[in-house]
Amino acid sequence: MSSLRRLRAWVFNHELDPTKIRDQLSASAVPVSSADCRTCSDPCDDGHGEYPARFKVDTETQMLGTVSPYRRQVLISTGTTDWDLEITWTSGSLASHISKAYRRTTNALSTAVSNLPHISGVFGGSESSWISILNASHKTISEDPNLETVLIFPDFMVVTDVPSTREGGKLLWEAALDPQISRVLGSPGTKLQTWVLPYSCVITFCSHRRRDGRCGISAPKLEHAFMRALQQRGWTVDTHLEHIIDPPLENLSGLIEDKEKHVLQSLKDLRNEKKALILFNSHMGGHQYSGNCIIYTPNGASVWYGRVTPHEVDAVVENTIEGGLILPALLRGGQNISKPGCSTLHEW
């Protein structure tokens, strides 16, 4: 298998040199770091967890470009860390109902022409109408435990009281997922409740063991490593979504412009909170690059990293989560990570 991967990499001219990948990303206005991904010695003497010897991943083919563009991504509360092989085939699940409510459209696609070089896997939200559906490990915070709580990116929103029914899937689609909605601002007149996610970042790891056993191994080790690294830097880390005290956006009065201004200011204020939410998610593609990690920021960036081990976590926290810079050697792709005129991902 290894020789086949090397042959494929040669045929498709895969680029594995981090310096050359860094130059490509810089040319496309992606803020990049020149730091090493691994901050500890090899072998490690810093106490980082190790994957077992049987844990083998693809290190010979190019990861950059292995993320397909999407308009929005929805993470559904399940309170568990493993799921059926295909979550949208699970009868009666919200994932199934959302997938059936999904309507592909091209109306929201951007026709703007960029002078920047195009990099596969690096995309803006308006470049696709696809909705990515994932299950996640958070428990619902709806008062009725039979109603789900979903996280929506890149909007950085949480929506509660979503029924796991055909009508619930349709309602969520029309209120928050439809690609023609420019920004999620709440859904007055419905029973849904919407808030800005109260975190400086959300970090997720694929733990979908039924799809690939390696993800079931890497996810808990990465969770432990990220919690340790963040807490050492003074961050508060949650592994379940906390109940939100503020009134939902549906309760805000005034013009749409006023509500949008309120949401934008709330998102900008989150940067200095130093509070992270860590979750597990279902299959996101690329399990051959386990451990897979997504980092979401309040200003709409989603950074997809692969081949992450506990040895790279300190560098990810320092460079990407705090510094707003991409580590090229780990990058699979991402949404809204090209930032013309900005020196970091955190700038608006």
Please give the pLDDT value at position 111. 53
For residue 253, give every residue at least 6 positions away whose Cβ sits within 8 Å of its Cβ, in sequence order, or none: none
State CA 173 to chain mean position distance: 19
Q: Please, is 152 exposed, middle or buried when counting C-beta atoms within 10 Å of its C-beta (0-12, 13-18, 19+)?
A: buried
Are 137 and 63 in contact by the 8 Å Cβ rule? The answer is no
Are 262 and 275 in contact by the 8 Å Cβ rule? The answer is no
Q: What CA–CA distance (Å, rounded) separates 208 from 83?
A: 6
* Coil, helix or strand at residue 311: helix
Please give the pLDDT value at position 245. 87
Please give the pLDDT value at position 53. 87
Max CA distance (Å), the chain: 62
Q: What CA–CA distance (Å, rounded) separates 270 from 191?
A: 27
Q: What is the pTM of this model?
A: 0.93
Please give the pLDDT value at position 314. 96
Please give the pLDDT value at position 11. 43
Please give the pLDDT value at position 104. 53
Q: What CA–CA distance (Å, rounded) separates 287 from 307?
A: 9
Q: What CA–CA distance (Å, rounded) separates 211 from 271?
A: 34
Range list of β-strands (E), the chain: 72-77, 122-123, 131-136, 147-153, 157-163, 193-196, 201-206, 236-238, 275-281, 293-296, 302-305, 331-335
Tell me which residue of 291, 128, 275 sits closest to 204, measured CA to CA: 291
Please give the pLDDT value at position 110. 57
Q: What is the mean pLDDT of each run of 10 residues along the chain (348 residues)?
A: 49 66 96 89 73 91 95 98 97 96 60 79 94 98 97 98 97 96 94 98 98 96 98 97 92 92 96 96 95 97 97 97 97 97 96
Residues 248/254/257/263 CA torsion (nearest 10 deg): -20
Handedness of CA 59, 60, 64, 67 (dihedral sign): negative
Are 74 and 149 in contact by the 8 Å Cβ rule? The answer is no
Tell me which residue of 47, 36, 52, 15 sits closest to 229, measured CA to CA: 47
